[in-house]
Amino acid sequence: MDALLHIIETYGLWVVVVCVLLDQGGLPVPSYPPMIITAAMAVESHDSVWPIVLVATLATLVADLAWFAGGRKFGATLLRTMCKLSLSADSCVGLTRRIYARWGPPSLILAKYIPGFAAVSTTLAGESGTSMKKFILYDGIGAVLWVAGAVGLGVVFHDAVDALLTQLDDLGQYALMLLIAGIVIFVALKWWQRQRFLGEISMPRISIDELQLLLKTGGGATILDVRSAEHRARSGWIPGAIQVRDIAELKLDPSAEVIVYCDCPNEASAAMLVKKLHERGFMRVRPLAGGLAAWRARGLPIDQAMESSLFAESVNSLTSMAGGARRYGPELP
């Protein structure tokens, strides 16, 4: 434990940088405690805490910009990879999409405080085409607030932190064992939560080939798209698919063949809707294996023209109206 405290005391800023990069990079490495401890030790030694705020904020922005660039280049593919490597449940992607679709870039300000939202939200910002200026503005504000919160706790409670460190120092090697045990328990809990979630969405899927055959033979299947309206309009949809806004609005025969798809890791959102439909008496309902990404990868048709056309017509109409107002409206001084 002496060696650990010596490392923090000697290389405190580097410890903060490494922990923040790993944490914001998506690994289960806590970065808040190192920031709090480093700030408290700085106060005890009468050093400034502003370098801690600066390096932690810069480390946060570096990690977030990496996710942002990855989201812009790889999009949904990167999100699926993240969920395979992460211990967080795949449902975090669907939740983050809904939050980001509703609040947009300003949601990045509070992203660090929502479990499973930070790395996913920055990736979604890149995927959704958010401008670099907006991203840096809102994510920068969020990073400063997040870091300042940890440093502030270290400053305010530096006496308590010092007393805790002294107690841990007295415990010697047992303190280090407790620390390692705490990390192991945390990782094990996250792994168990993920496995439980994967078990909940484990169910038979319909393959792309099976869906194609079903459509060709006129099976009368209803295809449901569970993605947000913004995501659907941006990336297109399987021809004939109905967007699901509210399950209560669906006017379907419980005996009908229903296929549900999304564009999320492990078809998590689609599988969750399938479970809800099963509870309502639908027995012939399955998620589409691979979702829209698998459909697109096979080179199958994607419908987008209708909504894009309507959007263009609306824009042209509004432009014409604005032009008319400028031509015939009263002139202002």
Tell me what pLDDT residue 312 has.
39
Spatial distance between the Cα atoms of 236 and 309, rounded to a whole number of angstroms? 13
Q: Please tell me the predicted confidence (pLDDT) of residue 295.
A: 92
pLDDT band at 168 (very low <50, low <70, confident <90, very high): low
pLDDT at position 102: 76
Mean pLDDT across 230-238: 84
332 vs 121, higher pLDDT: 121
Residues 276, 192, single domain; the answer is no
Q: Which one is predicted more confidently, 320 or 21?
A: 21
Q: Assign 217 a pLDDT band (cuts: 50, 70, 90).
A: confident
Q: Tell me the CA end-to-end span of the chain in Å, nearest whole number.
A: 74
Looking at the fold, whether 107 and 183 belong to one and the same domain comes out as: yes
Cα(106)–Cα(117) distance, integer angstroms: 13
Indicate whether 192 and 295 sit together in one domain. no
Cβ 265 vs Cβ 83: under 8 Å: yes
Least confident among 121-130, 165-174, 185-194: 165-174
Query: What gap in Å lies between CA 312 and CA 314, rounded to an integer?
Result: 5
Residues 126 and 217 in one domain: no
By the 8 A CB rule, do 191 and 87 touch? yes
Convert the pLDDT of each residue in 253-266 to its tens digit: 888 899 999 887 77
**Would you tell me how many other CB atoms lie within 10 Å of the CB of residue 146?**
24
Give tens-digit pLDDT for 197-211: 778 888 999 999 999
Do 178 and 264 lie in one domain? The reply is no
Average pLDDT on 60-88 reads 77
- pLDDT value at position 245? 77
> Is residue 321 included in any domain, yes or no?
no
Q: Per-residue confidence at 5, pLDDT binned at 50, 70, 90?
A: low
pLDDT recorded at residue 187:
76
Confidence of residue 330 (pLDDT cuts 50, 70, 90): very low
pLDDT of residue 315: 39
**What pLDDT shows up at residue 209?**
92
Question: What total of structural domains would you count in the chain?
Answer: 2
For the chain, give percent helix, strand, coil, nearest 5: 70, 5, 25
Per-residue pLDDT at 119 exceeds 90: no
Nearest-angstrom CA–CA distance, 122 and 120? 6
**Residues near 241 by Cβ (< 8 Å), separated by ≥ 6?**
223, 224, 225, 261, 303
Parent domain of 306? 208-316
Q: Residue 145: is its pLDDT beyond 90?
A: yes
Asked if residues 22 and 29 have their Cβ atoms less than 8 Å apart, the reply is yes
Examine residue 183 and state whether it is found in any structural domain, yes or no: yes
Residues 41, 162 share a domain: yes
Q: What is the CATH number of the domain that holds 286?
A: 3.40.250.10
Q: pLDDT band at residue 182, thresholds of 50, 70 and 90?
A: confident
Q: Strands of 285-287's sheet, edge to edge?
A: 242-243, 222-225, 258-261, 285-287
pLDDT, mean over the chain: 79
Same domain? For 87 and 178 the reply is: yes
Q: Does the pLDDT of residue 81 top 60, yes or no? A: yes
Q: Tokens for 65?
A: 């910009």
Judge whether 228 and 98 are in contact, CB under 8 Å. Answer: yes
Helix, strand or coil for residue 293?
Answer: helix
Instruction: Give the tokens for residue 261.
Output: 């798809």
pLDDT at 234 over 70: yes
Distances (CA, A) of 270 to 19, 22, 211: 35, 31, 15
User: Token pair for residue 171?
Assistant: 């415990």
Residues 218 and 137 in one domain: no
Look at residue 279 and tell me if it is in a domain: yes
- Write down the pTM of the prediction: 0.60
17 and 94 in a single domain? The answer is yes
